[in-house]
Amino acid sequence: PPYVARDAMDTLHRSVREHEPTTALTDGDDGLSFYRTIGRDAPALLKADGWVFVEIGDGQATAVIRAVEQGGGLIHRITRRDRASGAERVLGFTRG
């Protein structure tokens, strides 16, 4: 999902800002609205053993986990890191 906060758009590399549609980068708010929607809607769509994996931005893991889990039906289970940088990049959730 678009995960860049509106206030952080200016920090993106120029090539990203100029070549990617704004709607692919930001929700126009705090960068978490799509995660809230996933947390609210995904539990009803998942099979009992289903998973949801989401890409996240730098330093967003805690906020994204909170946003998804506030929906009441998903629990954070997995964090994957970028091999080169060690940054958290993907979170996995299952039904709670």
pLDDT-derived band at 96 (thresholds 50, 70, 90) equals confident
Output DSSP code: residue 37: H
Task: Specify the pLDDT at position 26.
Answer: 94
Domains and CATH numbers, the chain: 6-95 (3.40.50.150)
Q: What is the rounded distance in angstroms from the CA atom of residue 86 to the CA atom of residue 2?
A: 21
Give the tens place of pLDDT for each residue, 36-77: 999 999 999 999 999 999 999 999 999 999 999 999 999 999
**How far apart, in whole angstroms, are the C-alpha atoms of residue 4 and residue 12?**
9
Cβ atoms 85, 93 nearer than 8 A: no
Q: Which residue has the tokens 């809230």?
A: 36
